[in-house]
Amino acid sequence: MSTTVETATEIRPFHAEIPQSEVDDLRRRLAATRWPDKETVGDASQGVQLARLKPLVDYWASDYDWRKGEAKLNALPQFVTEIDGLDIHFIHARSSHDDALPMIVTHGWPGSVFELLKIVEPLTNPPEGEDAFHLVIPSLPGFGFSARPAEPGWNPDRIARAWDELMHRLGYDEYVAQGGDWGAVVTEAMGRQAPAGLRAIHVNLPASVPPDVEAAINGTAPVPQLTDEERAAFDGLVAARKSGFFGYFLALTARPQDVGYGVTDSPVGLAALFFWHPGFATWSFGSDPNDPKSKDEVLDDISLYWLTNTAASSGRLYWEHGGAFPTSATALKVAEITVPVGVTVFGEDGFRPPESWTRRAYPTLVYVNTTEKGGHFAAWEQPELFSDEVRAAFKEVR
Amino acid sequence: MSTVETATAIDPFHVEIHDDQIAELRRRIAATRWPSKELVDDRSQGVQLAALKALADYWTNDYDFGRLEERLNDLPQFTTEIDGVDVHFIHVRSQHEDALPLVMTHGWPGSVIELLDSIGPLTDPTAHGGKAEDAFHLVLPSLPGYGFSGEPTEVGWYTGRVAQAWAELMHRLGYTRYVAQGGDQGAAVTDDMAHQGPDGLIAVHMNLLRAALGNTSNLPSQSDEEKAALEEIGTFRTSGFGYFLEQTTRPQTIGYALLDSPIALAGWMLDHDTDSYYKIARAFVDGQPTGGLTRDHVLDNITLYWLTATGASAARSYWEGGRATALAAGKAPPAVTIPVGFTTFPGEIFRAPRSWAETLYPTLVYFNKAEKGGHFAAWEEPEIFAQELRGAFSSLRNGRSS
């Protein structure tokens, strides 16, 4: 029996190598795209505009090189280990500093480990005198090179338990956790479970919206007394709900398989879905000098979903979660978190809760800050600033 | 003068599908890249992989691609430009000269295909167990952005504008006294026509209570029947509403996949309501169709969407509906003053009780609960559907001279 146990907890090195036939098939499909007519409006209110998607797809089909994206992953130590019956892929970048703090960082949707690559260097090899981290960056179940669950039940709570097991398996008895987007939901679940080794968490998509405000947004209660700052945040949330930004959230929550057919068979369908997400919708792919994300970076991420055929399986996380808004304090039960919590609100994210709400939501809050720069995918967009925030948040628990 | 004549001209229309279009479609179906199987044993994550794979198999190996062209070209078809959009329609006149003119509107994810089997019983009742005085002259338009109608290139084509176009169409065809019918989006168009009350429209019949889907707060909720209907609407709004919200908010987004992948299109169109989904899935997986919802009929409709490349433009009609609702916020439409008929089919998203139809249409003159049939009633049970229309409009025929 001992061999079974050993096999199950074994940590195997991993190297990404997508067969060339898959890469060729993607190009062939892109070249054969059958496009819809132009939308009937002059903005993105019907979805990503044809004139915006087409140049990106033209580049994807011609000059984009997946092997360069793959090389970015393979430049880092990657592993796979089976947890709770599922193979989990992760990057494990140890700092040369022995006193570095182990940290598990979780990506979101439609992101992937690609959104976190730029923080590896600043966090594992910081400037003189700054705190260092040992980084563990897993791919969520059903995402990227992690296996696709074949049974229901892989919700954020179960993922959170798997992450604690992963950290133990790596020999980290004391560690911290960080996440934005789905990564925040998983990280907050870890905070509620408070496993013995978890010292603290930091999130950059806080579930700060108080119950009375949430009810007012849903139209089931009157608008409570609000400060000017709170009022602005409230109006922003109401406008966002009305604008249809959350439609992808509802569609994936209700029927991930229906969306899955299109995004599995049509790479353009996949790209179009990603551009629904507020975090992607405003990116310029490098054509704006103030926007650091290049076309290649965006396409590395979309190609990873395509080439691992995880567009449908990743969407199922929404279904598993059951539709609770990740910004709602009640839905995410963040009042039950018992470990110290740090929160950073990045100033260019679509959701910017006032600090007063965050303080109400998290009883164990030890750090909160609002930055000027950085958006929904802050680690991707502003890796240095993101790293500074994480260091500041975890200063207290070192 | 010549401009005006051109604009109101009615041109014969003939469907022509080229072999290379069929070959391209077959190639794409054969090259489908499939997602992994859903994690559940029911439709709660969407259309099941086994159902869609069975559909793909039948589509490529057994389906006769010539059917669509033949079925449509067997019927008198026309196009005419109304309000800047070319409207395609089927126009079947009954041999009975005093037949009642009827404009009947399809829905989403339907098309004129869903109405074809009702043409015989409605225009030629004596051959279908009816009486000569039950006959209709039938006009079946394709909604703008659907099938062979033109695709609007500007915003504003919500159902109210379609309703105005239909009144113009009937007028252009020389019908000065006519009725209108619809389910799904067709019910929305017909409801708008009833509220607008154009000259010549004497009555309407619907088989979806459109207003109740949006708002049930003014409807009675005491009886068991009313409570059951409320519960059914609640279920739809919480778990069956995904396609509706997607198309209302981001039609272009889903449009990219619907234009590029025939299987994405088929999957998206199959997942409408629980009843029709399971009926269609059974037809493909077990070879057991329910009424007219046969494999061939279902694929006629999906093939039409594919070949006319209207997945995005049809989805956009929901966006227009959302925009129109937002613009009209708080403003009640003019009251309906013409007689209204309504039929509740048992497999519909919710089984509307008579009390709801009466509340929403004080001029209700006909209400019935059909024995069989679901959301696509005309498609599934054309004979029962035709019987309902005969019943709904019979009292008006008697008053014809008035």
pLDDT tens digits, one per residue of B81-138? 999 999 999 999 999 989 999 999 999 999 999 999 999 999 999 999 899 999 999 9
Look at residue B402 and tell me whether its pLDDT is greater than 70: no
Q: SS3 of A110, please? A: coil
Across A263-290, average pLDDT? 82
Which of A99-113, B167-181, B276-290, B315-329 shows the lowest mean pLDDT across its residues? B315-329
B36 contacts A250? CB cut-off 8 A: no
B-chain residues near A35 (CB < 8 A): 256, 259-260
Q: Do B316 and A268 touch (CB under 8 A)?
A: no
Of A389, A397, A388, nearest to A369 by C-alpha is A389
E-only strand ranges, B132-246: 136-141, 178-182, 201-206
Task: Give dist(CA A80, CA A91) in Å, integer.
Answer: 9
Q: Which of B34, B151, B155 has the CB atom closest to A264's CB atom?
A: B34
Residue B259 to residue A187: CA distance in whole angstroms: 38
Q: Would you call A46 an interface residue with chain B, using a CB distance cutoff of 8 Å? A: yes
Say whether B271 and A260 touch across the interface (CB within 8 A). Answer: no
Amino acid making up residue B19: D
pLDDT band for A39, please (50, 70, 90 cuts). Answer: very high
Q: Do A269 and B39 touch (CB under 8 A)?
A: no
Instruction: Check whether A331 has a pLDDT greater than 50.
Output: yes
The arithmetic mean of pLDDT across residues A298-315, rounded, is 97
Q: Which of A21-35, A359-373, B328-342, B357-371 shows the lowest mean pLDDT across its residues?
A: B328-342
Enumerate residues 154 to 173 of chain A having a beta carbon within 8 A of any beta carbon in chain B: none
Mark yes or no for CB contact A261/B155 under 8 Å: no
Sheet containing strand B136-141, edge to edge, reads B10-13, B77-82, B85-92, B136-141, B100-105, B178-182, B201-206, B340-344, B364-369
What ipTM was predicted for this assembly?
0.90
- pLDDT for position A312: 96
Please list every residue in chain B whose beta carbon sits closer than 8 Å to the beta carbon of residue A85: none
Distance CA(A116)–CA(A99), nearest Å, equals 22
Phi and psi angles of residue A196, each rounded to the nearest 5 degrees, phi first? -50, -40
> Does residue A21 sit at the B interface (CB-CB below 8 Å)?
no
Instruction: Catalogue the E-assigned strands of chain A.
Output: 11-14, 78-83, 86-93, 101-106, 133-138, 175-179, 198-203, 341-345, 365-370
Q: Is the peptide bond before A126 cis (omega within 30 degrees of 0)?
A: no
Look at residue A2 and tell me whether its pLDDT is greater than 50.
no
Interface of B with A in 149-168 (CB under 8 A): 151-155
Residue B240 in this model has a pLDDT that exceeds 90: no
Listed range (A21-25, A237-241, B105-109) with the worst mean pLDDT: A237-241
Give the number of beta-carbon pairs within 8 Å between A and B. 183
Is residue B123 within 8 A of residue B143, CB to CB? The reply is: no
Confidence of residue A287 (pLDDT cuts 50, 70, 90): low
For B220-363, where are the E strands, in sequence order? 340-344
- For B:9-28, CB contacts with A below 8 A are none
Residue B2: pLDDT band (50, 70, 90) is very low
Does B241 lie at the interface with A, CB-CB under 8 angstroms? yes
Q: For the segment A183-233, what is each residue's pLDDT rounded down to a tens digit?
A: 999 999 999 999 999 999 999 999 999 999 999 988 889 999 999 999 999
Note the pLDDT of residue A240: 83
Domains of chain B, each with CATH number or no CATH: 10-401 (3.40.50.1820)
Identity of the residue in A262, A312, A313 whose CB atom sits nearest the CB atom of B261: A262
pLDDT, averaged across chain A: 93
Of residues A38, A50, A244, nearest to B249 (C-beta):
A244
Two tokens, residue B354: 């008579």
> According to the model, what pLDDT value does residue A9 have?
85
Per the CB < 8 A criterion, the answer to whether B192 and B206 are in contact is no
Separation in Å, CA of A275 to nearest CA in chain B: 8
Q: Could you tell me if B38 lies within 8 Å of chain A, comparing CB atoms?
A: yes
> Cβ–Cβ of A35/B259 closer than 8 Å?
yes
Local structure of residue A174 (DSSP, 8 states): S
Q: Which pTM value belongs to this model?
A: 0.93
Instruction: Categorize the per-residue pLDDT at A120 as very low, low, confident or very high, splitting at 50, 70 and 90.
Output: very high
pLDDT the model gives residue B6: 56
Answer whether A41 touches B (CB < 8 Å).
yes
Percent of all residues in chain B with a pLDDT value above 90, rounded to a whole number: 87
